[in-house]
Amino acid sequence: MPRFKITIEYDGTGLVGWQRQDNGPSVQAALEDAASAIIGHREDVLVQGAGRTDAGVHALGQVAHLDLDRSFDEKKLPLALNAHLPPSIRVLSAALVDDDFHARFSAIGRSYRYRIQTRRVASAISRGFVWHVGQDLDQSAMEEAAERLIGKHDFTSFRASYCQARSPIKTLDVLRFEAEEDGLALIAEAPSFLHHQVRNITGTLVQVGLGKWTANDVSEALAAKSRPAGGPTAPPEGLYLTAVTYPG
């Protein structure tokens, strides 16, 4: 059967996350239902994603693959799927790929953006799409602390206590800040991430920006290899999966 790679954008508000679950709507379930619909409900279609975003987390460049028992035009497939999807989930593009392509296991990099709003009054427009901190942050101090986390480390202090990854050792290639109109954004890039790693790092670095932590405190938390030693978990609504990269 033809295998397609699809790139997806979604608003995670009101969703239980990427993975199909019994307790509410998910991105995976919506895509699988849409795929089944366009082939006439003859059988269920499995859609496998590059990563499992949490409830409330958004995506600008999530990637998934699916096998269809009939051929589709690569340009028309997104239109066909979108006709059966809620407006909060859009398939941006589709490409025919080899049978051994896997959205998750073939990926060599993932990029996230976490948006932090610092203006005093929360925006009515961006509500649900940023973390409203509501006060100025010391970006220089946050950048100094972020440098302590770049590279290959044991990130036990910055992963969810129920994270199922076999190893807490990950390599952070990029961890930097960009200015935004009403605040700043944390950019994180790595081959893969632990559960809640970006949100836990963001929550910790905001403590630095507020003057409650120092860069040395972040280094000590990393060395402790214990989740209670790390900072708080930032809320999901500020987090976006922006891109997944593959060889070539």
Considering only CA atoms, give the Rg of the chain.
19
Phi, psi (deg, nearest 5) at residue 12: -75, -5
Q: Cα separation of 9 and 141, whole Å?
A: 33
Average confidence (pLDDT) over 117-129: 96
Q: Cα separation of 142 and 125, whole Å?
A: 27
Average confidence (pLDDT) over 95-108: 97
Residue 33 has pLDDT above 90, yes or no: yes
Report the DSSP pairing between strands 3-10 and 58-67: antiparallel
Q: Cα separation of 84 and 118, whole Å?
A: 38
User: What pLDDT is stored for residue 212 in this prediction?
Assistant: 98
- Residue 22: CB atoms within 10 A of its CB come to 7
Q: Which amino acid is at 218?
A: V
User: What pLDDT is stored for residue 76 in this prediction?
Assistant: 95
Average confidence (pLDDT) over 100-116: 98
Q: Quick one: tokens of 94?
A: 């589709």
User: Which residues are bridge partners to 114 per DSSP?
Assistant: 186, 239
Q: Cα separation of 237 and 240, whole Å?
A: 8
Average confidence (pLDDT) over 137-152: 98
> Which residue, chain included where needed, has tokens 């790092």?
201
Report the DSSP pairing between strands 47-49 and 58-67: antiparallel
pLDDT digits (tens, 9 = 90+) for 208-247: 999 999 999 999 999 999 999 999 999 999 999 999 999 9
Task: Write out the H or E segment, with its range, that includes residue 64.
Answer: strand 58-67
Distance of CA 193 to the CA centre of its chain: 9
User: What pLDDT is stored for residue 109 in this prediction?
Assistant: 98
70 band by pLDDT with thresholds 50, 70 and 90: confident
User: What pLDDT is stored for residue 41 in this prediction?
Assistant: 65
Q: Is 154 in the active site? A: no
Lowest-confidence segment of 52-56, 69-73, 191-195 by average pLDDT: 69-73
SS3 state at 154: strand
List domains and CATH numbers for the chain. 3-97 (3.30.70.580), 109-245 (3.30.70.660)
Q: What is the mean pLDDT of the chain?
A: 96
User: What pLDDT is stored for residue 44 in this prediction?
Assistant: 80
Choosing from 54, 67, 154, 182, which is the catalytic residue? 54
- Residue 74: CB atoms within 10 A of its CB come to 14
17 band by pLDDT with thresholds 50, 70 and 90: very high
42 band by pLDDT with thresholds 50, 70 and 90: low
180 band by pLDDT with thresholds 50, 70 and 90: very high
